[in-house]
Amino acid sequence: MASAPSRPAQPKGATGCLVLADGTVVWGKGFGAVGDAVGEVCFNTAMTGYQEVMTDPSYDSQIVTFTFPHIGNVGANEEDVESRGLGALGCIVREEVTPHSSFRARDEFVQWMAGHGKIGLSGVDTRALTRRIRLNGAPNAVIAHSPSGEFDIDALLAKAQDWSGLEGLDLVPNVSREAAEDWKGGHWQLGFGYVEGTSDRPHVVAIDYGAKNNIFRNLVKAGAKVTVVPARTSFDDIMALKPDGVFLSNGPGDPAATGQYAVPVIKALLDADMPIFGICLGHQMLALAAGAKTTKMHQGHRGANHPVQRVGEGWGETSGLVEITSMNHGFAVDADTLPDTLEQTHVSLFDGSNCGIAVKGKNAFGVQYHPEASPGPQDSFYLFEKFVGGLG
């Protein structure tokens, strides 16, 4: 039996720590909210958009390690928020957060983190932590911040060890909206903010499993009228809205767990020949509804620099084209389980994992990555135009 790692003495001035379930303790300076939170530690390789990352509901119950060392230098503002205070529990950064230097900032990142109940830890060797995750997988841990520097490490360790982890966990109820909403906001423009959309057709009903706001904005920009509904909305209630198409959003947790109530609805939509577009968790549950399976990944994909290649039939001259994409997922569709009714349309060039599917004979497709580019490149905006443009 492997021995527990030795526990380093608390350095002078340390006001924050990360306690991993195997007993490892990482010390640093705490910032943001005071207290502690338990979750899975992952890493994100994006160089920009830390506020969008921190408010992405797909990060529920996760602690984000940023590989880019300078986080916080553009401050915080309300325009870059992707959800209503949801998202990651906290973050781990290399350098101490400095005052902002952006004309768009309305608050310092440290104060913004505190106001949104998120715990930060700076002064950490994020390269070493990222390497650990790559080798051993994403660990369960507790992040803690105490301005006095007083910590009960044994209690924090027990909390990390007692947490179940993400596998088998349905987190969508934590992040989905409770009532239907007509979405109006369009794309962002410098000097104008978010311009309100005006289209009445086609009508897209978007199921909110923990969606990022910029997804809805891109649907509006592509010409759709968007109605957002809660995750547990029934097939009959969706059809009563008379949609021309249905969108399945991103979200946190294990898709197989959320699929217990979501997959029957998606199956009914497929049987009704309803056009469907899924992103991330929505993509995974579309695959489950079509007969495929999902699996927990070793470390996951999170960042704004992930190369994805178009594969399979139907791409014409663009077959083989590579898109640089934004990703945030710890589960994936198992390509080996795709039934004959599904075609693989995209693959990751990092590890060959599935990144896109299409249902044969139907206008239904999904992608594992985030084409809304918030944060990230804009290579995949065409997917919104492909979906909305195919609704008539």
Q: Where are the alpha helices (DSSP H) in the chain?
A: 50-54, 109-115, 126-136, 153-162, 172-175, 213-221, 235-240, 255-271, 281-289, 382-389
User: What phi, psi does 113 have (nearest 5°)?
Assistant: -60, -45
Out of 116, 283, 306, 370, the active site residue is 370
Q: Which residues of 238-272 are buried (b: 16+ CB within 10 A; e: fewer)?
A: beeeebbbbbbbbbbbbbbbbbeebbebbbbbbee
Residues sharing a CB contact under 8 Å with residue 42, sequence separation 6 or more, in sequence order = 59, 62, 63, 64, 65, 133, 138, 299, 300, 302, 330
Out of 40, 82, 323, 372, the active site residue is 372
How far apart, in whole angstroms, are the C-alpha atoms of residue 320 and residue 306?
15
Longest pairwise C-alpha distance within the chain? 65
Q: Is 370 a catalytic residue?
A: yes
What are 11's two structure tokens? 């350095």
- What are the DSSP calls for 270-326, one per residue? HHTT--EEEETHHHHHHHHHTT--EEEEEEEEEEEEEEEEE-STT-GGGTT-EEEEE
Out of 280, 306, 329, 346, the active site residue is 280
Q: Is 203 a catalytic residue?
A: no
Contact 35/25 with Cβ under 8 angstroms?
Answer: no
Q: Is 298 a catalytic residue?
A: no
Residues sharing a CB contact under 8 Å with residue 355, sequence separation 6 or more, in sequence order = 308, 325, 346, 347, 348, 367, 368, 369
How far apart, in whole angstroms, are the C-alpha atoms of residue 140 and residue 297?
14
Catalytic residues: 280, 370, 372
